[in-house]
Structure 1
Amino acid sequence: MLTPFHLAVPVDDLDAARQFYGEIMGCPEGRSSDKWIDFNFFGHQFVVHKGKPLTDADHNGVDGDAVPSFHYGMILEWDDWHVLATKLAKADVEFIIEPKIRFEGEVGEQATMFFTDPAGNALEMKSFKDFSQIFAK
C-alpha cells in the first residue's frame, strides 16, 4: 500500500477552488481557514493556499501533445478515470488536452487528460488498464 502524499498549490480565489475541487472534482473538504483549504484528493492530502498562482508557459512535446511542464494529478482506476472525464465534460471544464489514449499499443499505454483549475494550475488525470505499466520502459 502506498502512503499518501501531501501537495500544496497557490490559488487566487479560495471559493472558486472550493467549488472546483470540492464540487466538480468530488474531493471532500477537510480542515480550512481563511488562507487555505485541505482536500482529500483521492486519498492524498491536497491543500490550496491563498496566494499568487503559478504561471507556466513551458510545455514539452509528448506523443504529439504540448504537455505543461508543471502539472500534478492522479493515476485512477480505469473506470474511475472514464467517470471523471465524463463528469468534467458535463461541467464544461475546458481541456488543455482532451481525454484520450496515449501510447496506444505501446509500453506505457495510458488514458490521459489535462485541464486547469480556476487559478490556472494544470492537472493531469491518467489511468492504466495494467498498473504494472506505470514505470515500464
Structure 2
Amino acid sequence: MTSPFHLAFPIKDIESTREFYGGLLGCEIGRSTDKWIDFNFFGNQLSAHVKPEELVAAHTNAVDGKNVPVRHFGAVLEWDQWHGLADKLKEVSTDFIIEPYIRFEGEVGEQATMFFLDPSGNALEFKSFRDPSQMFAK
C-alpha cells in the first residue's frame, strides 16, 4: 500500500499559486490563509507557504544529456493522464525546462517525463511509466 506524502514549500504569493495548482493543474484546494494554502496534489498534501526570501533557483545535474533541476518535486501519473497533462501544458504555451519526452523507449523502465516551473520558480517533474511495475526496475 502506498502512503500519501506531505510537502511544504515556499512561494512568492497565494494568488498565482492558487491559479497554477488549483486552476492549471486541477488540484483541489484545501485550507488557506493569506500566508499559506494546501492542495490535494494527486492524492498528496502540498502546503505552500508565502516565503519569497526562501526562493532560490535550483541547481542542475546532467541526466541523459539534459539539465535536470536537483531540487524538484512532482507526481507519477497514469500513462494517459500524463499525456493529457502534457497536451494541456503545451496548449497554454508552458515554458518547459525539459520538454515532454519518452526516456528508455522500448527498454526496461520506459517512462514519460517533463519538467517546468511553478509561478514561484519551484521546479516540478511529472512522469509516467508505461509499465508501472517497472518504476524501480534496474
Q: How far apart, CA to CA, are the structure 2 residues paired with 1:24 and 1:57? A: 22
Change (3 A) 1:57 1:40: closer
Q: TM-score, normalised by structure 2?
A: 0.95
What's the counterpart of residue 127 of structure 1?
128
What's the counterpart of residue 73 of structure 2?
72
- Superposed counterparts of 1:35-46, under 5 Å: 35-46=35-46
Whether contact under 8 Å (2:114, 2:126) holds in the other structure is: yes
Shift of residue 105 of structure 1? 2.4
Matched, 1:111 2:116: no
Q: TM-score, normalised by structure 1?
A: 0.95
Change (3 A) 1:107 1:54: farther
Q: Secondary structure at the match of 1:89?
A: helix
Whether contact under 8 Å (2:58, 2:71) holds in the other structure is: no
Q: Secondary structure at the match of 2:17?
A: helix
Over aligned residue pairs, what C-alpha RMSD do you find?
A: 1.1
The percentage of counterpart residues that share the same residue type is 62
Deviating runs (4+, > 6 A) in structure 1?
none
Structure 1: state its 5+ residue gaps.
none
Name the amino acid aligned to 2:29.
Answer: E
Q: Secondary structure at the match of 1:16?
A: helix
